[in-house]
Amino acid sequence: MAIQFNQVTKKYGSEKALDNVTLQLQAGKIYGLLGPNGSGKSTTLKLIAGLVYPSSGAVTVLGEEVTRRISRKVAYLTELDMFYDSLTVDKMVSFFKTQFPDFNPEKAAMLLVDMKLDGKKKIKQLSKGNRGRLKLVLTLARETPIVLLDEPFSGLDAMVRDSIIKSLLTYIDFNEQTVIIATHEIDEIEPIMDEVFAIYNGHIIGHENVESLREEQGYSVLEWFKSIMGNEESD
């Protein structure tokens, strides 16, 4: 099993961001973690990445209980910008190479071409769309077994979203890597997801195989998500 949560609760002060969550994620799949803002998506990814720790319960990645050292197995695209604005794109890529032994500069170079990014341009000169592209380049150029993408489409136009989807399909090794995409924007990622989890108020409220959801139940992921969210909000 690639990732396991065993009765995980995460509190910030008196507030529960996750409440007694148990889940298992298999290797070699793309998972969608769907939910509105504030539902617990980002906290779930941070727990996998070792950026925060459970208040109770345990998180394991590839059989190893998560600590800060798990970063060597996890590539994490945060919703926040984590750039040095005074650097050029090429120098930011070089910096990542010094930080992560698994960083593949040849892969990064191919991604820069595909994303149409100018390596000589300073990061502070990049548009929001190109900053989003650069974040994806830096994440996908790492050859880690776990790839986490937190709201990768946030605020980006349709063309940038399309390029992100194409890069995921091109540069992810589905024999070796497990991908989790946390988002509340569902249409873009439905064609590439294997399984989906719905999260709301810190609870996993649904889990489906995408293919069986469409072929056996006749639902799109968006229709399924709206249905179960409607049930939660009417309770």
Structural domain harbouring 224: 3-234
In terms of Cα–Cα distance, which of 85, 191, 188 is closest to 134? 85
Number of separate domains in the chain? 1
Q: What's this model's pTM, rounded to 2 decimal places?
A: 0.92
Question: Tell me, what's the pLDDT at 170?
Answer: 87
pLDDT at residue 102, rounded to an integer: 95
From CA 170, how far away is CA 213, in angstroms rounded? 25
Q: Which residues, including other chains, have CB under 8 Å from residue 199's CB and lie 6 or more apart?
A: 33, 34, 35, 39, 40, 41, 44, 205
Q: How confident is the model at residue 65 (pLDDT cuts 50, 70, 90)?
A: very high
What counts of helices (H) and strands (E) characterise the chain? 7, 10
- Whichever domain contains 77, its CATH number is 3.40.50.300
When pLDDT is averaged across residues 146-160 and rounded to a whole number, the result is: 84
User: Is 90 exceeded by the pLDDT of residue 205?
Assistant: yes
Over 70: is that where the pLDDT of 234 sits? no
Mean pLDDT, residues 11-15 taken together = 94
Gap between the Cα atoms of 48 and 60, Å rounded? 8
Q: What is the pLDDT of residues 77-120, one digit of tens each?
A: 988 777 888 999 999 999 999 999 999 999 999 999 988 899 99
- How confident is the model at residue 158, as a pLDDT? 78
Q: Which residues contact 88 (CB under 8 A, 6 or more apart)?
A: 119, 120, 121, 122, 123
C-alpha dist (Å) from residue 8 to 18, 19, 88, 170, 213: 7, 7, 41, 34, 27
The b/e string for 9-26 (b: 16+ C-beta within 10 A; e otherwise) is ebeeeeebbbeebebebe
Q: What whole-number percentage of the chain has pLDDT above 90?
A: 68
